[in-house]
Structure 1
Amino acid sequence: MAIAVTVVAAGAATVILRPRSGLIDPAAIDPRAYFSEAEIRRAEDFRGVQRLIGVGSLLISGATLAVLALAGGGCQGGRCPPWMPSPPAPVLRLLERAGEKPVRGGALVAAGISVTLTVTGIPLSVWAHERAVDYGLSTQSLGPWFADLGKSA
């Protein structure tokens, strides 16, 4: 029921907030009118590597989730691939205990997954941050940046 209400509300908002006189065409803008060739080239260099870092982060997160899903109980009973190690006994006990109180256990497991994904992404995140500092897009040093990263996990 909640999903249906959400879909109806989103549809109504789309109709109500749509411009009355039709869609507005974007203005054509030439970046060279505002930036030099060197600045445009520098932005393209930054964007290219940052995009690769972003794709790498997605791959690492996806692989981490796959390992957690398979090793976290999804491959019990001998169905694990040969390369997949079985989870340590303490982890299995924690997962069993989490199942005893589903709401609290689910919240704790979700928090653990969030922290795990953050930790596995640290190397590429640091690289992306350092590039942003080098290009003048961030002025934050690593100490406060790590503090913010910890808060976001």
Structure 2
Amino acid sequence: MTESRSAAEIYQAFLDAVGETIAQRDFAGYSRYYLFPNRLITVQKTLLIETEADLERLFRSMCHTLELKTVAAPSRACSSAEFAEDGRTIHGAHTTWLVNATEEIRQSYKARSTLRLCDDGAWRLSASQYEDSGGILPNQVVSMTDDIPGQKPDDD
């Protein structure tokens, strides 16, 4: 199967679709965009998300944190994306902004993600790495998920 869209177009469409599931607080829709196991790396720790139950705990924590910040959903923009040699993997980077109802930017942070083209034709996330430190959303969310197995603190 040859993809006619650019890696950046696919990556941005993926970000938009996942963002919509977050805005709707739709876990079933959200989970369709993930491969298992899935690796999430922050400056605090690395999570290996092995099951849909693990992902749901992470999703619920993220939604709760967004609600505390009065943010419906993250706004994200692809800054770069390229196909790997296999043509079934995209390595991309994006910036996320958390904007509240009065359009005040509450936070912004950068991430890199890997998407894989599955046999059903869907692009799914296999790994994400968040580059910024401090009180950003990914760090806050993973700090609330100590019950997910496969975690390890990051040693720098």
Same fold (TM over 0.5): no
Structure with greater Cα Rg: 1
**Structure-2-length-normalised TM-score:** 0.27
**Structure-1-length-normalised TM-score:** 0.27
Q: Flag the structure with higher helix content.
A: 1
Q: Flag the structure with higher strand content.
A: 2
